[in-house]
Amino acid sequence: MSSKPEPLFQPLARDALSQQIARMLTDAIVSGKLKPGDRVAESVIAREFGVSRAPVREAARLLESTGLLVSHANRGFFVRTIDAEDLDSLYELRLCIEREAAARVVREGKVAGIIDRLRAQIEDMVGMSEENQLILQIGVDLQFHRLIVESSGNKRFVAAFDKLASEIQACTAMIETVFDEPGLVARNHYLIIDALLSGDQDEARAALDYHIGVARETVVGRFRKLEAEEAAKR
Amino acid sequence: MSSKPEPLFQPLARDALSQQIARMLTDAIVSGKLKPGDRVAESVIAREFGVSRAPVREAARLLESTGLLVSHANRGFFVRTIDAEDLDSLYELRLCIEREAAARVVREGKVAGIIDRLRAQIEDMVGMSEENQLILQIGVDLQFHRLIVESSGNKRFVAAFDKLASEIQACTAMIETVFDEPGLVARNHYLIIDALLSGDQDEARAALDYHIGVARETVVGRFRKLEAEEAAKR
DNA sequence: CGATTGTCGTTTGTCGACAATTTCGCTTGA
DNA sequence: TCAAGCGAAATTGTCGACAAACGACAATCG
C-alpha cells in the first residue's frame, strides 16, 4: 500500500450548518438575489434548506454582525437597506483603514512580497471587465484591496475591512454597469501599485485617497440618483 | 383633552433575555470577573441564570461579534485572550478612526455643541480618579472619546469605535493602576479640547495622535511586561 | 363614516431533548 | 514509568414544540 495514500476524497464540508447557511445567504445578498429591505424569515429559510430554525437563526445573527442583515425585535431579519449617506460613511471608514494600511505596507517594506499577486489580480479584473462579469470583477477588486490591508500585518484592519467589504460589494452589485469604460477602473489600480513601489508613505496614502475617492463619488453619486428617482416616484 | 397627551409611561424595558444576558456577560468581562481564556460554557451560564441554552447561546454570539468572546467549533466559547501585538493593532485602528472623526468634527463646526458635555466628562474622570475608581474612570474616558466620534456624524465610525472600545475597556481594566499620577490622565483630555477649539483639523488630529499614542504605549507596554513575566514563569 | 377594539395567522423567543463531538480519567500494554 | 487506546462524562450542534408578540383585518361603537 502507498505510505501516503493519495486522498481519494476531499474532507466534506463539515463546518456547522449555520456557517454554510451564512455563506449561502451572503452570496444571495451580495449577488443581489436578495434585495435591501427583503424579509428574511427564519422559518422560510429553514424550510427551504430543510433544517431547523436554530442554525438559520445563528447564520442570521452572524450576518447581522457583518451588517448585511438587520433585526427588529420580535419581527425578524431584513436585508439591510442602505442610503447614500450611509454608503458615504462606509467609504470614509474604508479610506481611513486602507490608507493607513498602505502606509504601513510601505513603511515596513512589504511591497515586494505582494506585488506579483497584486498585478495578477489587476489582470483578472481587466479580463472580467471585458467579459462584462461585473459582479466577479467587484469581488477581485476587493480582493486586491484586501491583500494590501492584509499585508499591513494589522489583523484589526483586516477584520474591519472584511466587514465593510461585504457591504460595499452588495451595494456596488446593486447598481449595474457603474463604470464608463471597460477595463478603465481595473487598470487604474496600476496607479496604486506605482505609489506603493515609490516607497513613499504619503504617496501611497494619496494614491488610495484618490482611488477610493473616485469609487466613492461614483457609487455614492449613483446611489443618490437612485434615491432621487425613488423619491420622485411617490 | 390635550391634543398631544403627555406620555404617562415610558415604554418598559422589555428586551429579550439574550440581551440581558449579553449585558451581564459583558459586565463580567470588562470588570475582570471573567478573565481572558476562561471558558464560558453555555450550559453552565444557562443553569446560573435559570434559562435555557438558547438565549445564552445568542448572547454569546453577540459578544463574539463584538470580540469579547471567541468560539471554537464544537468546543464552545472562551473569553478572548489578547496579546500585546493584537492590542497594539487595536489602538492603531482606534487612532485611524478617532483622528479622522475629530478632524470632521472640527471641519463641520460641531465642536461648540459638545464642548460642555466633554468638559463635564473630564470632571467626572478626575473625580473617579481621585476615588481610585479606575474601572469607572475608564468607562467615562471611553465615553468622552465616543462623544467625539459620535458627533462626527459618521455612523460607521461609531459602530467601529464601539466594537473596539469594549475590548480596550476589558484590557485596560485587567491591568490595575496603570497610571502614575491620579487625575493626570483625566486632565490630559483638556489638551484634546484645546485642539478641537483651535479649529484646525490637523491640530485636532495631532492631539489625538499624541493622546492615544500615550495610552497605547502605556497599556501595550504594560501588556508586554505581563507577557514577559508570564513567559518567564514557565 | 372614522376610530377603537377584538381576533386570527404568522413569526419570533424560548424551551427541553437528542445526537454528535470533544475532553479527560482510566486501563492496558510495552 | 509512560504512551497509547478506550470509555464515560460533559458540552456543543440541532431539532421539534410551545408560548408570547406582532401585523392585518374584521367587528363594534360612537
Chain B residues contacting A via beta carbons under 8 Å: 15-16, 54, 57-58, 61-62, 64-65, 73, 86, 89-90, 92-93, 96-97, 100, 154-157, 160, 164
Angle, vertex CA A83, rays to CA A82 and CA A87, nearest 5: 80
Q: pLDDT tens digits for A90-108?
A: 999 999 999 999 999 999 9
Of A89, A93, A155, the CB nearest to B89: A155
Amino acid letter, B175: I
Q: Which CATH architecture has domain A17-79?
A: Orthogonal Bundle (1.10)
Query: Nearest protein residue to C15's C1' (by CA)?
Result: B52
A97: left (phi over 0), alpha (psi -120 to 50) or beta: alpha
- All residues of chain B having their beta carbon less than 8 Å from the beta carbon of residue A212 are none
Contact B157 A15 (CB under 8 A): no
Do the domains spanning A17-79 and A84-233 agree at the CATH topology level?
A: no
pLDDT at B59 over 60: yes
Q: Which nucleotide is nearest to A52 (CA to C1')?
A: D15
Contacts of A155 in chain B (CB under 8 A): 86, 89
The C1' atom of C29 and the CA atom of B232 lie apart, in whole Å, by 38
The pLDDT score that the predictor gives to residue B133 is 84
Which CATH architecture does the domain made up of B84-233 adopt? Up-down Bundle (1.20)
Cell numbers that stand for B144 in this block: 468622552
- What are B156-208's pLDDT values in tens digits? 999 999 999 988 988 887 776 655 677 888 889 999 999 999 999 999 999 99
pLDDT of residue B179: 59
Residues B209 and A232: their CA atoms lie apart, in Å, by 45
- Chain B residues whose CB is inside 8 A of the A86 CB are 155-156
> Cα(B58)–Cα(B49) distance, rounded to whole angstroms?
14
Question: Parallel, antiparallel, or unpaired: how do β-strands A39-40 and B69-72 relate?
Answer: unpaired
Q: Do B16 and A93 touch (CB under 8 A)?
A: no
pLDDT score of A6: 39
| Residue B193, pLDDT score | 97
Nucleotide nearest to A74 in CA–C1' terms: C12
Closest CA to B81 of B36, B41, B31: B36
Whether residue A93 and residue B58 make contact (CB cut-off 8 A), yes or no, is no
Map grid coordinates 397627551 to a residue.
B5
CA of B39 to C1' of C21 (A): 17
**Stretch B106-118: mean pLDDT:** 96
Which residue's entry shows cell 513613499? A200
- pLDDT class for B232, splitting at 50, 70, 90? confident
- Minimum Cα–Cα distance from A63: chain B residue: B65
Q: What pLDDT is attached to residue A107?
A: 96
Residues of chain A falling short of pLDDT 70: 1-16, 176-180, 233-234
- Total beta-carbon pairs less than 8 A apart between chain A and chain B: 59
Q: Please identify which residue in the block is written with the cell numbers 496614502.
A: A205
Give residue B3's pLDDT.
Answer: 42
Is the separation of the CB atoms in B80 and B190 below 8 Å?
Answer: no
Sequence spans of domains, chain B: 17-79, 84-233
Contacts of B160 in chain A (CB under 8 A): 93, 160
The rounded distance, in Å, linking the Cα atoms of A6 and A134 is 38
Q: Residues B114-166: pLDDT tens digits?
A: 999 999 999 999 999 888 888 888 899 999 999 999 999 999 999 999 999 98
Question: Helical H runs in A40-154?
Answer: 42-49, 53-66, 84-107, 115-130, 134-150
Write down the mean pLDDT value for chain A: 88
Confidence class of residue B13 from pLDDT cuts 50, 70 and 90?
A: low
Q: What's the pLDDT at B172?
A: 84
Disruptive mutation site among B65, B96, B209, B212 for chain A (greatest number of A CBs within 10 Å): B96
Model confidence pLDDT, tens digit, residues B61-97:
999 998 999 999 889 999 999 899 999 999 999 999 9
B9: pLDDT strictly greater than 90: no
Q: pLDDT tier at B7 (50, 70, 90 boundaries)? A: low
B178 touches B218 (CB < 8 A): yes
Q: Look at B97 and A96 and tell me if their CB atoms are within 8 Å.
A: yes
Q: How many CB atoms lie within 10 A of CB B214?
A: 12
pLDDT reported for residue A16: 63
User: In this structure, how many other beta carbons lie within 10 angstroms of the beta carbon of residue B113?
Assistant: 10
CA distance B205 to chain A (A): 13
